[in-house]
Structure 1
Amino acid sequence: MDLIPKPDQVASAASNVAHKVLYGGLADLRPMPRTLIDDGPLREVYHYRPQKQVRTTGDPVLLVTPLAAPAICFDLRRDCSLVEHFVKAGRPTYLVEYGEVSFKDRNFGLEHWVDEVIPEAIREVSAHAGGRPVHVVGWSLGGIFAALVAASDAKLPIASLTIVGSPFDVREVPLVAPLRPILKITDGGIVTRIYRAMGGAPKPLVRRAFQLSSGTKLLTKPIATLQHLDDAEWLAQIEAVDRFTANMIAYPGRTFGQMYHRVLKHNQLITGKVNLSGQDIKLSDIKVPVLVFAGNTDGIAPIPAVKAVVPLLTNAHEVRFEIVPGGHLGMLTGRAARQTTWVVMDEWIAQYSTPDDREQKPVKKVAARPAKKVAKKAAKKAPARKTAAVKKTAAKPAAEVAPDRSAIGSNRDRRFSSSSSRDLAPKR
């Protein structure tokens, strides 16, 4: 809104304020419909119901939620929902989340997620989708979990791995810098006693930490809101982010301790090796293709902290690194993600998806009808139907979304490949 608002801006602002007062908000916060298909201790696997007017086909996508964050990170609001994007595109879409974490869950450690929760979710999704390989997409700590899972079990049916905003080198995280002197002086003893007494990191503490990670945005939010009173889309996004922050989940005590000592204090991830349950998990054991995203304004996982994982993936089929617009949450489900992050994901998943050979089944079913008249009629039309099916299959690659490189801002310098991978650099 201009410093001296125009009449149309005043009208839009008044309409937005009235809508918020009368109806409670501008954002469409309806969740995408889903069905629980598997559950266990701190594990809930959901299948998002396909839309009737959209044909669902292809390899499934499993969205891996980070600890402490609600699953609405992938389904923030309508038109800014990665789940909605995949479902409308006809992609079988699944999600694993962990439910409410309480004091009774304090003994669950990282190995619970790496050895049980996520591997079981991958197997269940593959089975539910007819035995197809799974494209695993993890955001923040969910990306770290997914990487450790892919490294620890090469037999899992993983088609590709996508890591979004996951910090593998905490030395590059500005928020951690003020804590280093404290860690050296106290050796972490005080912090250890506190999180053990509380059974982990409680909800209010996690919520406040996420809010503080926004830095100056938290202080300037009231002014920014006044400046955007005439922008319904901007206000709707703020509402959705506020709801996300308000629904933070607690950290289990043992997991929080492991994250504190191994990741925060000793920065083990940058070594490419993490020991869980007596087993050394090496990121160099990942064989599947890996796509890595970093947000250009991410304060929680800055570009260098995310990019640090690239040289550790020495045996991956291919490693692709992309810098996209947005902060920690915005790069995943912000307004700009629709033309940037999601477009690259679509391209990546299509590239490493198996062919869908089930398109011919309806044709065979029609030809096998018992009635003679129907059989003759079907036989006459069979060539035309077969041709149409072939044309549809042949046209499938052309229908794949080709990203606008100028919009995304990606270039060959951001792509890193192992010696066995295919070079995706554009030909000159």
Structure 2
Amino acid sequence: MKRKTPAHMSTKASVGATEGPPKMARRLLLSALHLIERRLFSENFIVANLTPYDEIYRDGIMSVRHYLPLEDDSIQIGDEILEVSRRRLPVPLVFVPPLAATSMIFDLLPNRSLIRYFLAMGFDVYLLDWGEVTEAHYELSLESYVLSWMPAAMKAVREDSGQTEVSCFCYCMGGLLTLMYAATANDTGLRNVVTVASPIDMHQSGVAGQILSAVYRPAQIISRLLNFSLMDLPARFMHVPGWLNSLVFKLTNPLGSLINYWELLVNLWDREFVINHTTVSRWFDDMVDYPGQTIKEMTVSMMINNEMAGGRLKMGDQRAEFDNIRCAILAFAGADDRLVSPRSAHRLLDIVASEDKEFCVVPGGHAGVFAGSQAPASTWAIAADWLVQRST
């Protein structure tokens, strides 16, 4: 016996059949248009660094920004609507970025902006921008960042805010530079430091850490026998271009990079998706150069000799003693971070003299722990609660 299809089912099927091809054709057309626009006018899809600010200080390529209070009554962060606080906490908050990556990760997307989030929480927000390093800057050293630019930036923030105490919120290498500053500057007004994915113990960071640990003693022996050190090489030969930094970063998760491109291809018709994807990709693709002199010092002192894990670090004629640090410390590590292991980041608590110090492992990889979709509910929320209690 033949089964008769109900009339309403037949109608629905026919409507679906007629709607399918036009919908697919429209998506293909939008995909083609977005692909062409993205190729020719990629800036149309970049929505980073939109939060208004004043530049309060500049020294060469380095600058300090002061972000203006939000005018909105509420903002969207992720899927949440956040009420904007009209209070102003007295202790300014200074964001310190890493060296190889641009500072845009602090203001990445309107609904995933660390800067907008902390402005909404009532903080007076500043950002130290290291600037665009090129081959012409190969002589920039750790001393340049720690002993020259960091003190100048902290002075500018204090003069602009009228406050003597400041807090720092740092990502990756930005945390190391801030800790070096704290260990050398005798800055009693540095009240709080938050580090996210900062590799204190380089020999405990995954495969790279195992390699560094393995080559430590042979490198020491070879250096003594040959009376040679990487520090003897001209700095311009050690300069690392930005494209290489981007490549190395992507190679830490090659499968993730392939999936990322596939997701773009599948969703190319969706303009909002393309905007978010292009903006985030810009941060990964447009990393800046690492100065040759800084690379020399990092490779020898921090990577091979692992000096920070021992509590002290030599920078030219200066020595950073990390047990000089007594400010409150909050350190984060990503549970899935392939570059900086929780064990590496946790070492910070062992080398400082601070009595108020905490450590948190939160979801995410090296970038996700700081600016991923889960970061607002984990890293940001924990840090905000912690800082609010220590910023009044």
TM-score normalised by the chain length of structure 1: 0.72
**Distance (whole Å) between structure 1 residues aligned to residue 211 and residue 375 of structure 2:** 31
Q: Is the 8 A contact 1:140 1:164 kept in 2?
A: yes
- Looking at structure 1, the residues matched to 147 and 388 of structure 2 have their Cα atoms a distance apart, in angstroms, of 28
- Offset, 1:51: 2.3
Offset of 1:214 from its aligned partner? Answer: 2.8
Alignment of 1:1-400 (within 5 A): 17=31, 20-21=34-35, 24=38, 28-29=47-48, 31-53=50-72, 55=86, 57-58=88-89, 59-176=91-208, 177-178=210-211, 184=218, 196-198=235-237, 200-225=239-264, 237-313=276-352, 315-354=353-392
Deviation digits for residues 33-54 of structure 1 (CA, Å, limit 9, x no counterpart): 2211011144211111222356
- How far is the alpha carbon of 1:179 from its aligned partner? 6.0
Q: Which amino acid aligns with 2:297?
A: Q
> In structure 2, do the counterparts of structure 1 residues 133 and 23 end up closer, same or farther at CA, with 3 Å as the change threshold?
farther
Distance apart, 1:161 and its partner CA: 0.6
Looking at structure 2, the residues matched to 195 and 127 of structure 1 have their Cα atoms a distance apart, in angstroms, of 38
Secondary structure of 1:336's partner? coil
Which residue is equivalent to 1:420? Answer: none
Could you list the per-position Cα deviations for residues 324-357 of structure 1 after superposition, in whole angstroms to 9, with x for gaps in the alignment?
1111111111111111111111111111112xxx
Distance 2:48 2:126 in 1: 19
Q: Distance in 2 between matches of 1:192 and 1:234?
A: 46
What SS does the aligned partner of 1:251 have?
A: coil
Deviation at 1:107, TM superposition (A): 2.4
- Aligned pair in 2 of structure 1 residues 187, 17: CA closer, same or farther (>3 Å)? farther
Stretch deviating more after TM superposition (199-208 or 295-304): 199-208
- Deviates most, 240-249 or 284-293: 240-249
Structure 1's 123 and 178: CA in aligned 2 closer, same or farther, altered over 3 A? same
Distance 1:179-1:94 versus aligned 2 partners, 3 A rule: same
1:119 deviates by 2.0
Q: Which residue identity lines up with residue 380 of structure 2 in the other structure?
A: W
Q: Which moved more, 1:10-19 or 1:254-263?
A: 10-19
Q: In structure 2, what residue type is equivalent to 1:216? A: L
Judge conservation of contact 1:56–1:92 (CA < 8 Å) in 2: no
Distance 2:237 2:391 in 1: 45
Distance 2:264 2:150 in 1: 39
SS in 2 for 1:275: strand
TM-aligned CA deviation for residue 282 of structure 1? 1.7
Q: What is the distance in 2 between the residues matched to 1:171 and 1:234?
A: 39
- Structure 2: distance between partners of 1:214 and 1:340: 22
Q: Is the 8 A contact 1:134 1:159 kept in 2?
A: yes
SS of the aligned residue for 1:335 comes to coil
Aligned mates of 2:126, 2:320 — CA distance in 1: 26
Q: Partner of 1:267: helix, strand, or coil? A: coil
Structure 1 residue 112, shift from structure 2 partner: 1.7
Separation of aligned partners in 2, 1:12 and 1:181 = 57
Looking at structure 1, the residues matched to 341 and 279 of structure 2 have their Cα atoms a distance apart, in angstroms, of: 23
Gaps of 5+ in 1: 1-6, 355-428
Q: How far apart, CA to CA, are the structure 2 residues paired with 1:311 and 1:126?
A: 30
CA deviation string 1:273-318 (max 9, x = no partner):
11224333221211110000101111111111111212222x2131
Q: Give distance in 2, aligned partners of 1:298 and 1:19.
A: 36
Q: Give the equivalent residue in structure 2 for 1:3.
A: none
CA distance in 2, matches of 1:30, 1:102: 21
Indicate conservation of the 8 Å contact 2:94/2:166, yes or no. yes
TM-score (normalizing by structure 2): 0.78
Assess, with a 3 A threshold, how the Cα gap between structure 1 residues 161 and 19 changes in structure 2: closer, same or farther.
farther
What are the superposed Cα offsets for residues 147-183 of structure 1, whole Å, 9 maximum, x if unpaired? 1212222334212110110011111222424566677
Aligned partner of residue 349 in structure 1, secondary structure: helix
Counterpart Cα distance in 1 of 2:145 and 2:49: 29
Paired AA for residue 324 in structure 2? D
Per the alignment, do residues 43 and 78 of structure 1 end up closer, same or farther by CA in structure 2, a change over 3 Å counting? same
Q: CA RMSD of the aligned region, Å?
A: 3.2
The CA deviation string for residues 70-99 of structure 1, in whole angstroms up to 9 with x for no partner, is 011211111111012122333211111122
**Preserved CA contact (<8 Å) 2:92 2:163:** no
Query: Identity rate of aligned residues, in percent?
Result: 25
**Alpha-carbon distance, 1:190 to partner:** 9.6
